[in-house]
């Protein structure tokens, strides 16, 4: 541009052009930036195309499909028991919760009654898994803000939970523990004591996490007032789970539409109040999860106390054929509502199985709230929604 | 101006609180394990590699049918003199077929454990082995039955 000026220095019209050109340069050209597919703020592979003006984002286009496995089609080719291991792979960080939702859907479809002991064991497992995934969230949230130690602490306690799962069902990530009509095995010897001891340890460690990360001034400055999701927008986009509760909406399926034995257990629903910023900011979403861990400990303790004796598995045929019909069952997962819509045509395989996951809707609310945001704030916003990619792509 | 120094003070104290926690762990016992030298004690129910004791197998094809990824290939021939097998409930069962091929392609396995759940004689089981890496895909296919003995061709 400066060369242009030198060449036609005397011509006023060209100088005027140059001035207008200069103004354009200051405003800047919009630029498309690829963020991802591999990025630490997502658990999985997600490509975000950002339309940016310098450091400011004007639009976000999430590109999904990197982890598509066609689970819904696979379900049509397998019988009801065989699909259970695949539900582990919907949300690999909370496989027990996914197992529970699928088992409940098929039990409702085939009108199978589950023994009381099995229901309690299921709730214990689901809540322990909820704690485990929230601990991973705490660690990764630290990573996104530049704190490297919390993930080590989070994984240390998660390890204890995985040990409990391993002694119960034999696996550490893809459990396949629940069966249609109950659970695969009874609790092993020493599980109850070990779980109680773990609850006591975790309660002390939670104080440590809060001192280390949650109430750290740098962390708060980074998180508060960033990525504010208003309650009405959250409801419009179908956001569920801790992301919705972070916006101040008290909606939890465990209370509002109780399933399993949750009505018999006492617990509160933590809601974002905007203590340090605005209601619905990233810190609120973070803190709702940390408080949910406390509530999950409460639930696990009560369930361990109330654990009845008896069978853990109802008698279900190896290949059973539910009557014609359809059913939609949803459960409160750590990342939002997980719903299974199952249609049966009376054969051994489901005719159609649709999975509704929390992460998909939660991700759809990210683009509208990230307009006019800095790129580094976008990382925080996306991280605070805690999306898991296999849940989005299925 | 007061706010400026106040925020510096708040930031510093919260760093000190955090550092106190990390320093405490710096001097305490380490949580990690030196893996190849030290090893975990596997719990009893651990689901490792799929194995089969083909002398117990009655070729009911339960595991073949339930496997979601169909990794088991089972072939068998009828025998004239049935052998006896004791099943999991302690009853004697007749073993009418001889297993000639029991192949497990472990590279496909998702370790769901559905196959071992319904086995009537406990022939198929999951061992505690978990270090399953191989150099080629052929090595991942495990053979658990003795192939039929073909009589050597007569010399003409």
Q: In this predicted model, what pLDDT tens digit does every residue of B4-19 receive, in sequence order?
A: 888 888 888 888 888 8
Counting residues of chain B whose pLDDT is more than 70, the rounded percentage is 94
**Taking 50 as the threshold, does the pLDDT of residue A144 lie above it?**
yes
Least Cα separation, residue B97 to chain A (angstroms): 23
> In chain A, what residues touch B17 (CB-CB under 8 Å)?
211-212, 216
Kindly report the length of chain A.
Answer: 394
Cα atoms in the 13 Å half-sphere on the side-chain side of A96: 27
Band (pLDDT 50/70/90 cuts) for residue A297 is very high
**Taking 50 as the threshold, does the pLDDT of residue A5 lie above it?**
no
**Taking 80 as the threshold, does the pLDDT of residue B149 lie above it?**
no
Band (pLDDT 50/70/90 cuts) for residue A4 is very low
- Residue A4 contacts by C-beta under 8 Å, 6 or more apart in sequence? A14, A18
Least Cα separation, residue A181 to chain B (angstroms): 15
> In chain B, what residues touch A171 (CB-CB under 8 Å)?
47, 111, 113
Kindly list the distances between the CA atom of residue A103 and the CA atoms of A178, A241, A339, in Å, as whole numbers in the listed order. Answer: 7, 20, 11
pLDDT (0 to 100) of residue A386: 84
**Taking 80 as the threshold, does the pLDDT of residue A1 lie above it?**
no
Least Cα separation, residue B150 to chain A (angstroms): 38
Candidates A317, A392, A309, A322; CA nearest to A357 is: A392
* Helical spans, DSSP H, in chain B: 2-27, 62-66, 114-117
Would the CB atoms of A208 and B112 count as touching at under 8 Å? Answer: no
> In chain A, what residues touch B21 (CB-CB under 8 Å)?
208, 211-212
**Using one digit for the tens of pLDDT, what is the confidence trace for B66-100?**
888 888 888 888 877 777 777 777 777 777 777 88
User: Which residue of chain A comes nearest to B31, CA vs CA?
Assistant: A156
Would the CB atoms of B11 and A85 count as touching at under 8 Å? Answer: no
Minimum mean pLDDT range among A97-101, A196-200, B140-144, B149-153: B149-153
Counting residues of chain A whose pLDDT is more than 70, the rounded percentage is 92
pLDDT (0 to 100) of residue A153: 86
**Using one digit for the tens of pLDDT, what is the confidence trace for B20-48?**
888 888 888 877 888 888 888 888 888 88
Q: Are A219 and A153 in contact (CB under 8 A)?
A: no
Would the CB atoms of B114 and A81 count as touching at under 8 Å? Answer: yes
Averaged pLDDT score across all residues of chain A: 85
- Residue B48 contacts by C-beta under 8 Å, 6 or more apart in sequence? B42, B111, B126, B127, B128, B129, B130, B132
The pair of structure tokens assigned to A366 is 């990210």
**Taking 80 as the threshold, does the pLDDT of residue A95 lie above it?**
yes
Choose between A11 and B42: higher pLDDT.
B42
**Using one digit for the tens of pLDDT, what is the confidence trace for A357-378?**
888 888 888 888 888 888 888 8
> In chain A, what residues touch B47 (CB-CB under 8 Å)?
169-171
End-to-end CA distance of chain B: 108
Kindly list the distances between the CA atom of residue A157 and the CA atoms of A94, A138, A182, A216, in Å, as whole numbers in the listed order. Answer: 15, 12, 27, 21
The structure's pTM equals 0.84
The pair of structure tokens assigned to A145 is 């803000």
The pair of structure tokens assigned to B37 is 């030298």
Band (pLDDT 50/70/90 cuts) for residue B155 is low
**Taking 60 as the threshold, does the pLDDT of residue A22 lie above it?**
no
Q: Indicate left, alpha or beta for A335 from its phi (over 0: left) and psi (-120 to 50: alpha).
A: alpha
Band (pLDDT 50/70/90 cuts) for residue A343 is very high
User: Which residue of chain A comes nearest to B114, CA vs CA?
Assistant: A82
Would the CB atoms of B46 and A166 count as touching at under 8 Å? Answer: yes
Would the CB atoms of B45 and A188 count as touching at under 8 Å? Answer: yes
* Cα–Cα dist A324/A343, whole Å: 8
**Taking 70 as the threshold, does the pLDDT of residue A41 lie above it?**
no
Token pair 């310098």 is found at: A54
- The helix-helix angle for A375-385 and A282-306 (nearest 10°) equals 20
* Cα–Cα dist A115/B30, whole Å: 42
The chain A residues in contact with chain B (CB within 8 A) are: 78, 81-86, 149, 156, 166-171, 174, 176, 184-185, 188, 208, 211-213, 215-218, 318
**Using one digit for the tens of pLDDT, what is the confidence trace for A166-193?**
889 888 888 888 888 888 888 888 889 9
Q: Are A136 and A162 in contact (CB under 8 A)?
A: no
Q: Which helix (H) or strand (E) segment is A223 a member of? A: helix A217-223
- Residue A298 contacts by C-beta under 8 Å, 6 or more apart in sequence? A266, A267
Q: Are A179 and A99 in contact (CB under 8 A)?
A: no
Would the CB atoms of A78 and B31 count as touching at under 8 Å? Answer: no
**Taking 70 as the threshold, does the pLDDT of residue A11 lie above it?**
no
pLDDT (0 to 100) of residue A131: 92
* Cα–Cα dist A389/A229, whole Å: 21
């Amino acid at each position: 541009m400066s060369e242009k000026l030198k060449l036609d220095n005397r011509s006023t019209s060209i100088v005027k052009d140059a001035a207008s050109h200069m103004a354009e340069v200051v405003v800047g050209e919009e630029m498309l930036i690829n963020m991802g597919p591999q990025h630490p703020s997502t658990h999985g592979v997600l490509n975000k195309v950002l339309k940016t003006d310098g450091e400011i984002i004007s639009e976000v286009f999430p590109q999904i499909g990197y982890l598509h496995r066609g689970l819904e089609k696979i379900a049509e080719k397998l019988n009801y028991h065989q699909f259970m291991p695949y539900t582990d792979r919907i949300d690999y960080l909370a496989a027990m919760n996914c197992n529970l939702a699928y088992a409940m859907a098929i039990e409702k479809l085939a009108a199978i009654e589950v023994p009381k002991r099995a229901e309690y064991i299921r709730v214990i497992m689901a809540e322990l898994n909820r704690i485990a995934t929230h601990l991973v969230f705490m660690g990764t949230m630290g990573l996104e803000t530049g704190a490297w130690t919390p993930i080590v602490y989070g994984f240390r306690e998660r390890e204890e939970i995985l040990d409990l799962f391993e002694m119960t069902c034999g696996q550490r990530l893809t459990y396949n523990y629940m069966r249609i009509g109950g659970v695969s095995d009874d609790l092993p010897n020493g599980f109850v004591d070990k779980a109680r001891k773990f609850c006591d340890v975790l309660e002390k460690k939670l104080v440590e996490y809060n001192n280390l990360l949650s109430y750290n001034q740098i962390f708060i400055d980074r998180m508060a007032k960033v990525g504010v999701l208003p309650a009405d927008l959250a409801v419009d986009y179908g956001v569920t789970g801790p992301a919705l509760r972070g916006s101040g909406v008290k909606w939890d399926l465990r209370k509002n539409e109780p399933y399993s034995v949750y009505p018999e257990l006492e617990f509160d629903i933590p809601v974002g109040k905007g203590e340090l910023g605005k209601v619905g900011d990233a810190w609120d979403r973070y803190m709702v999860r940390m408080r949910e861990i406390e509530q999950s400990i409460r639930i696990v303790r009560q369930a361990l106390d109330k654990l009845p004796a008896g069978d853990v598995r109802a008698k279900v045929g190896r290949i059973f054929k539910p009557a014609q019909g359809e059913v939609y069952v949803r459960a409160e997962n750590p990342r939002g509502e997980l719903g299974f819509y199952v249609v049966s045509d009376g054969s051994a395989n489901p005719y159609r199985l649709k999975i509704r996951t929390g992460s998909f809707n939660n991700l759809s609310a990210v683009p509208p709230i990230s307009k006019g945001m800095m790129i580094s704030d976008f990382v925080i916003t996306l991280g605070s929604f805690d999306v898991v990619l296999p849940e989005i792509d299925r | 101006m007061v706010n400026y120094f106040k925020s510096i003070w708040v930031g510093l104290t919260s760093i000190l609180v955090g550092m106190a926690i990390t320093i405490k762990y710096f001097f305490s016992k380490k949580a990690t394990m030196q893996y190849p030298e030290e090893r975990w004690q596997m719990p009893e129910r651990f689901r490792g590699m799929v194995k089969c004791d083909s002398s117990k197998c009655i070729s009911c094809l339960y595991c073949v049918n339930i496997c979601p990824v169909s990794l088991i290939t089972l072939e068998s021939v009828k025998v004239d003199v049935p052998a006896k097998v004791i099943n999991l409930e302690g009853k004697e069962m007749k073993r009418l077929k001889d297993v000639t091929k029991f192949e497990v392609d472990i590279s496909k396995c998702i370790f769901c454990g559905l196959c071992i759940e319904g086995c009537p004689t406990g022939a198929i089981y999951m061992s505690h082995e978990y270090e399953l890496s191989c150099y080629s895909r052929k090595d991942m296919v495990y053979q658990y039955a003795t192939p039929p003995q073909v009589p050597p061709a007569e010399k003409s």
